[in-house]
Structure 1
Amino acid sequence: KEIKKYPPDLLGLYTISYNYPVLETLTHAIRGINPTLKMVAGGPHVTFMPEQTLQETPIDFCVMGEGEETLHELVQHLEDGSKDFSEIGGLAYRTSEGEIKKNGERVRVKELDELPYPAIHLLPPLSKYKLYLLHHKRTPYFSVASSRGCPYKCVFCETPSGKIVRAHSAEYTADYLQFLEQKHGVKEIHFVDDTFTLNEKRIFKLTELMQQKNIDLTWYGTAHANVKNMDVFKAMRDAGCW
């Protein structure tokens, strides 16, 4: 209904493998409503199987890996009316002739602190979003990735962000959390880092800054089973982790 009422210039979608069938059904339904709407998809499944995604769905573009720079370049090309997407790293796409093309990989962002905050002000109030998680204490809720990558080789994890760990500084992360709390009324955070507790020094600094700034958030994140320093968990608890 929203697409009929307010047709977007570009529709972005995200999928992991277990909900890929939903992506198939949804995109075919959307194409039936709007035959000319451009659709771009990202996420782990699309990253590893872009050709299959383009073959089985009416999606026009697939972003492989991190999307900040790839999506920005794609939008610039679309705004300029360009149909040549061959130089956009990290992009797979369907040409106007129906041929599927896959460009080279995009170099991962090295300095995460150089990335701007997400444009949350363009979204509806966060209070309108329903939680998909069963376990939470407060709303509104928001997800934060304070680092990317994990060096471990757990057989059950696809490590979508790679083995090399890159992290926002504790200062950047604390400022961002304060921004979310003060500007958007966020009350709970889910850290979606591949492994949040990798750098104990950063955790101690972050939790210290959160208390200094009087950040009143409940939050939680991921940890590897080999964390042996209980002081890490105590510092996290004292800063609002549950």
Structure 2
Amino acid sequence: MKRVLLFNSPILFSDRKDIFEAHYTGIRYGIASIAGNLRRNGIEVKILEPHYQTVEEIRDIIRRFEPALVGIPAYTTEIYDAAGTAELVKDVDPRIITILGGAHITALPGETMDNSPQFDIGVLGEGEETVLEIARGKDRESIDGIIFRSGPELKRTTPRARISDLSELAEPAFDLYKLENHRNMKFYGGSGLFLPVESMRGCPFACVFCFRTIGRQPTYKDPVSFVNELESYVDRYGLRHADFIDGTFGVNKDNALAICNEIISRGLNLKFRWSANARADTLDEELIDAISRAGCTYLKLGIESGNDAVLEKSSKGITTAQIRSVVRICRAKDLFVRGNFIFGLPGDTEETIGETIDFAKSLPIDHVNFAILVPFPGTEIYRWAKRGERGYSLESENYQYYGKQLGGALRNSWLSSRQLQLLQRRAYWKFYLSSPRRMREFASFLNPGKALQIIKRLFTGVK
């Protein structure tokens, strides 16, 4: 049977431009899930975490394991590192089949394969069943959801149907990671083993800045099955914090309430803490109360703007009044809240961004992420910029510059990149210096190795 080696992330070769979005070293749920599905079907699989090995050690692991297939994931900002990783794999053994997965290849399959000859196959969308069929040696033309090389040509197959019941998937193979590397993660409520978990996939909303890699139709895990998984992680691994990676927890209120009630009924809310992504229009007092009682300590709210006209033009589908109401309830339930904001959205001006900064300061939230709009491939913003529509155009197609804390990838006709960068720094400065508590929270989560760089960028404007 073929052996499969999965990289948790690409090897870091390039000089990442974004000091805020440092090379991600946490466990990637998608890789763990693909590994679990392969193992359940009798295929030997290994997960490699390149952050914890030297390049020579990685070469040696590949030589000793002798995989037939190597899978590498990549976000847009990682695509050059992913190509470098595949090149290293081919250098060790050119017979190895290299597979690329993730949002970038899903959004730009042809361009990515044209620009990255190191890859043999691209997996588009969900990867569990697709990678299994590749590993079993199924004829590539009959494998749905891939793009592959056939001589000098690229061939793309029929899109793969979505996995309708996520409960049918194998449990993610977290045990294939060196979990000791992930046991000292800091989070609200303490520190300890931090694992990503998933109760649903898909996003039904139409925000112009977001690429829905999986699709718009939500699919779910059965609440009891999902909580069985959580209980298993507590018992087997000593889970202390679960990060729900669902695009929006609460899209299906009944499902979310069932999860919370199941956690509470088993007493798991006393054994681990969790965090989730949310929107103001999918939360109400009943659900927030259940979330809090079930052990959630941290909600990440997609707020985006403090101006209602900008929210409407961005197809966000929420209002500042809804946001203010939900944040007030979260504070009353002792939930920590991070507000996520974006500068440069349709209709944004220096004045509206000033309103957003003031709005953020006025909310009882603990952390903020002030991003500069990025034209990620697959988004409506990317399509507008590519066609030069609505005042947008592409400043750069060098994906190293597509970090959300950078700016520089997108040009618009009313605010320069430099203006957006200065407004972003002003926003961080005004928010975190608005109270001693916020400054303490900011300092407590700084990576010591990056602290000086971050402080210089935020408070002095030095790059």
After TM superposition, the score normalised by the length of structure 1 is: 0.88
The Cα shift of 1:5 comes to 3.9
Aligned residues: 234
The residue that corresponds to 2:295 in the other structure is 240
Q: Percent identity?
A: 26
User: What amino acid does structure 2 have at the position aligned with 1:67?
Assistant: G
**Residue among 187, 200, 203 paired with 2:240:** 187
User: What amino acid does structure 1 have at the position aligned with 2:126?
Assistant: E
Instruction: Return closer, same or farther for 1:29/1:130 CA change in 2, 3 Å cut-off.
Output: farther
User: What amino acid does structure 2 have at the position aligned with 1:99?
Assistant: E
Instruction: Return closer, same or farther for 1:69/1:238 CA change in 2, 3 Å cut-off.
Output: same
User: What amino acid does structure 2 have at the position aligned with 1:118?
Assistant: P
The residue that corresponds to 2:192 in the other structure is 139
**Cα distance in structure 2, aligned partners of 1:239 and 1:140:** 18
**Residue among 207, 212, 219 paired with 1:154:** 207
User: What amino acid does structure 1 have at the position aligned with 2:120?
Assistant: D
The residue that corresponds to 1:64 in the other structure is 124
The residue that corresponds to 1:171 in the other structure is 224
Higher strand share: 2
User: What amino acid does structure 1 have at the position aligned with 2:155?
Assistant: K
Structure with max Cα Rg: 2
Q: Is the CA contact 2:183–2:191 (under 8 Å) kept in the aligned structure 1?
A: no
Q: Secondary structure at the match of 1:86?
A: helix
**Cα distance in structure 2, aligned partners of 1:220 and 1:186:** 13
> Deviation per CA, 1:74-120, whole angstroms, max 9, x where unpaired?
1111xxxx6x310000011112x242111110010112222221233
The residue that corresponds to 2:102 in the other structure is 43
Q: Is the CA contact 1:15–1:41 (under 8 Å) kept in the aligned structure 2?
A: yes
The residue that corresponds to 1:18 in the other structure is 77
**Cα distance in structure 2, aligned partners of 1:224 and 1:233:** 12
**Cα distance in structure 2, aligned partners of 1:86 and 1:241:** 45
User: What amino acid does structure 2 have at the position aligned with 1:34?
Assistant: D
User: What amino acid does structure 1 have at the position aligned with 2:242?
Assistant: I
**Cα distance in structure 2, aligned partners of 1:129 and 1:93:** 35
The residue that corresponds to 1:27 in the other structure is 86
**Cα distance in structure 2, aligned partners of 1:22 and 1:130:** 26
The Cα shift of 1:175 comes to 0.7
2:107 is equivalent to residue 53 of structure 1: no
**Cα distance in structure 1, aligned partners of 2:144 and 2:203:** 23
**Cα distance in structure 2, aligned partners of 1:62 and 1:100:** 10
**Cα distance in structure 1, aligned partners of 2:152 and 2:266:** 54
**Cα distance in structure 2, aligned partners of 1:26 and 1:125:** 21
Specify every segment of 5 or more residues in structure 1 that has no aligned partner in the other structure, as ranges: none
The residue that corresponds to 2:172 in the other structure is 118
The Cα shift of 1:41 comes to 1.4
**Residue among 134, 148, 173 paired with 1:74:** 134
Instruction: Return closer, same or farther for 1:21/1:153 CA change in 2, 3 Å cut-off.
Output: same
Q: Is the CA contact 2:187–2:241 (under 8 Å) kept in the aligned structure 1?
A: no
The Cα shift of 1:134 comes to 7.3
**Residue among 220, 226, 229 paired with 2:281:** 226
The residue that corresponds to 1:104 in the other structure is 158
The Cα shift of 1:34 comes to 2.5
**Residue among 86, 98, 119 paired with 2:141:** 86
Q: Is the CA contact 1:197–1:222 (under 8 Å) kept in the aligned structure 2?
A: no
Q: Give the ranges of 4+ consecutive aligned residues of structure 1 lying more than 6 Å apart after TM superposition.
A: none
After TM superposition, the score normalised by the length of structure 2 is: 0.48
User: What amino acid does structure 2 have at the position aligned with 1:42?
Assistant: G
User: What amino acid does structure 2 have at the position aligned with 1:193?
Assistant: D
Q: Is the CA contact 2:99–2:121 (under 8 Å) kept in the aligned structure 1?
A: yes
Q: Secondary structure at the match of 2:82?
A: helix
Q: Is the CA contact 1:61–1:91 (under 8 Å) kept in the aligned structure 2?
A: yes
Q: Secondary structure at the match of 2:250?
A: coil
The residue that corresponds to 2:254 in the other structure is 201
Higher helix share: 2
The Cα shift of 1:139 comes to 2.5
Q: Is the CA contact 2:260–2:294 (under 8 Å) kept in the aligned structure 1?
A: yes
Q: Is the CA contact 1:170–1:206 (under 8 Å) kept in the aligned structure 2?
A: yes
Instruction: Return closer, same or farther for 1:72/1:168 CA change in 2, 3 Å cut-off.
Output: same
Instruction: Return closer, same or farther for 1:101/1:112 CA change in 2, 3 Å cut-off.
Output: same
The Cα shift of 1:18 comes to 1.7
RMSD: 2.0
Specify every segment of 5 or more residues in structure 2 that has no aligned partner in the other structure, as ranges: 1-56, 298-463
Question: Which stretch has the larger CA shift, 3-12 or 134-143?
Answer: 134-143
**Cα distance in structure 1, aligned partners of 2:285 and 2:240:** 26
